[in-house]
Structure 1
């Protein structure tokens, strides 16, 4: 269960995310009048075709420009309605909007993290050599890197319906690594730090892999950004990845 108060806090920490947006000017202007900045679609750190052949340009454009943009647009609209409900003292409307904020806010958070934990196959960032500290901890936890990949892939394949698979660094000093899954667009919460995640919604792979989910899971390993994963694991990332 995602705590809605924690999600509000997380979104507040992400208020500086920037990029192209097709949000209406009315929503942005209304949020500005309420003292809130409208969320915008973050630009990808690579071209839409950069992850081919493992993830097609068609999927990346649709996933980023349509699906992620929809989460951003609907989040801004929900925030606008929520602030208006607070001002009106309409508690029922505030409660009704919490699920909308959780779903679209989570979608924005998860995808913003996802784009950065991908990199073109064969690039330096996609080399596991960039994650020496993380790999050492993975081998300590799962016995071998291949053992970890097998466990993580099994967790992804075990997701029923739509959701995400994550490697997280547990909250607290000296905490270890674990694999978690989240339902729909629920983000990682509770202080755990997402090291990297994989989107298991059908929109992430269906145009290319059809019902071949296993092939998508196998090929996603070719485009993991291990440099970003190492930075998140070591706490050097500037991203706000924990609540």
Structure 2
């Protein structure tokens, strides 16, 4: 009987881990961890987490590791182990397309006063408040809440550019702006701080995935959407391959 690897995932972090319109859990990290399961010959058990509970779920041994575009922060490193980064999160702002010129530089004194920006993750909120000290930053429940109803009447959304590019395809009236200078944060897989053997293995395994081109192929498919050819005039990458659209 195969051993079970309990994997924590964020159910609403497109393009890393999310449910498509068919109800399947998919994404860059989900496909990556399925590759790990084949290598280890283990069965995967997926357990959802929220950003403010993921470390507790690791510590309580509810999950063995956590995926889903997790940003590595000094605060998290005090309580959990992280692999070497396999991806970066580039700090960006999603704005209505006609407002894209409002935030070009993080330290621009011409940024409109009274601007109200949402952010779904506390780790990004910390970085956002550091870059935009005069802007009101509001932590929201989920990224989808901004795009679907924006009940808090936000002017925009602080987000990783890699995430925002996917959302802007679903909601093309929005655009992703990467203000200068570029600010990036590392993304990794989290494990319990005492699981050093697992951590070392994951680092070496990610080296293999990187060196044989697998990580680049996953990134191209899930983040950049590249390498996919149209098959018919009615064919749509984001509907027929990613299943983001109904």
Q: TM-score, normalised by structure 1?
A: 0.30
Q: TM-score, normalised by structure 2?
A: 0.30
Between structures 1 and 2, the one with greater helix share: 1
Between structures 1 and 2, the one with greater strand share: 2
